[in-house]
Amino acid sequence: MASASHTKEELLDEVRQRYAWAATAVGRGVSTTEVNDSLRVVAACDSSGCGSVDVAVDESFGAAFYDSDDQEVLPAEAIAASLGCGNPTAVAELRAGEKVLDLGSGGGIDVLLSARRVGQTGFAYGVDMTDEMLELARANAEKAGATNVEFLKGTIEDVPLAGASVDMVISNCVINLSVDKPKVLAEMYRVLVPGGRIGISDVVAENHLTADDRADRGSYVGCIAGALSKQEYLTGLAEVGFVHAEVEFTHEAVPGMHGAIIRATKPSA
Ligand SMILES: C[S@@+](CC[C@H](N)C(=O)[O-])C[C@H]1O[C@@H](n2cnc3c(N)ncnc32)[C@H](O)[C@@H]1O
């Protein structure tokens, strides 16, 4: 979904630049709150309508979704780099020995938590297009002493893994940033083994909000303007072959748009 004033290439470039900035800001010790706030221009809505202003939305984005047990086992830099809108590892029901892929892995928080859940017989991959994020994630993996992880450079529209190579795909607040969402859904289906599952956190709009309504409520790079609606998610997942798809709203991020958990399964062969 490209906005009227931006081409897809311009949006992609803006996303890459903003998240490169976020990765290096974390390295310079800028707080999670400041990084998350500066990424988002959020609408203030009242009875007379909505207008774009800068608003702190820290409770809707960042490390607050991870309990203290999770936070204690990770390097502080991985927590500080958390830019998600949920905690997919809390709902993913990962099992020992499984292979997991995190789309848009950022500073690595969900890859590192997944790696602990699947254990030494399992493996966790992260894919991200931003060099600065990959560098941060690899440094965090080293600090965490994680040996069953790998961070791959690539896009979520063209995942650098073979078909049927992972049991679970997770992602945290990234699919809304994609300029080709049908391709991302098709890639998730391709890389999963038959019977594989997705457990995604993302911002999702109520069905009645138009693309303009969503853009009024926040920026594209801030994970708001590019969000799919609940019905668009369900239709898109069904179109590429997923079954048992569900979208569950968990918290309202801005009026009419929610942090949500998206689950679905690739049918068994
Ligand atoms: C909002 S941050 C979320 C990072 C991480 N999932 C987390 O929870 O902290 C978005 C991340 O997705 C990456 N990203 C955005 N669009 C992408 C795309 N099309 N392909 C690969 N990575 C992408 C960005 O570089 C950034 O690291």
Around ligand 1, the residues with Cβ closer than 6 Å are 15, 19, 82-84, 104-107, 109-110, 128-130, 133, 155-157, 172-174, 177-178, 223
Is residue 249 in a domain? yes
Ligand 1 pocket test, pick from 13, 19, 65 with the greatest ligand atom count within 8 Å of Cβ, gives 19
The Å distance, Cα 48 to ligand 1 centre, comes to 34
Instruction: Please check whether residue 2 lies inside any domain of the structure.
Output: no
Q: Which atom of ligand 1 is nearest to the CA of 106?
A: 27
Provide the pLDDT for residue 55: 35
CA-to-CA dists, residue 177 to 69, 91, 146, 203, angstroms: 29, 22, 28, 10
- Domain assignment present for 194: yes
How far away, in angstroms, is 269 Cα from ligand 1 center?
31
Q: What is the DSSP code string of 168-218?
A: EEEEES-GGG-S-HHHHHHHHHHHEEEEEEEEEEEEEE-TT--HHHHHHHB
- Assess if residue 1 is contained within a domain: no
Where is 265: in which H helix or E strand? strand 257-265
CA distances (Å), origin 76, targets 82, 170, 171: 10, 22, 21
**Distance in Å, CA 20 to ligand 1 centroid:** 10
Nearest residue (by CA) to ligand 1, atom 8, is 84
The domain in which residue 100 lies consists of 8-265
The confidence score (pLDDT) of residue 63 equals: 83
How many whole angstroms from 215 Cα to the centroid of ligand 1? 19
Does residue 216 lie in a domain region?
yes
Q: Which residue has the tokens 């400041």?
A: 34
Q: How much is the pLDDT for 174? A: 98
Cα–chain center distance at 184 = 12
User: For 10, how many CA atoms within 13 A lie in the half-sphere containing its CB?
Assistant: 7
3 found inside a domain: no
Answer yes or no: is 101 within a domain: yes
Ligand 1 center–CA 230 separation, angstroms: 21
pLDDT of 28 reads: 83
CATH number at residue 18: 3.40.50.150
- Has residue 45 been placed in a domain? yes
Q: How many domains does the chain have?
A: 1
Give the pLDDT of the chain (269 residues) as one tens digit per residue: 455 567 899 999 999 999 999 999 877 877 777 777 777 644 333 334 434 434 334 467 788 888 888 888 898 889 888 899 999 988 888 999 999 999 999 999 999 999 999 999 999 999 999 999 999 999 999 999 999 999 999 999 999 999 999 999 999 999 999 999 999 999 999 999 999 999 999 999 999 999 999 999 999 999 999 999 999 999 999 999 999 999 999 999 999 999 999 999 999 97
Dist. CA 4 → ligand 1 center (Å): 23
Question: Which residue has a Cα nearest atom 12 of ligand 1?
Answer: 104
The pLDDT value given to residue 40:
62
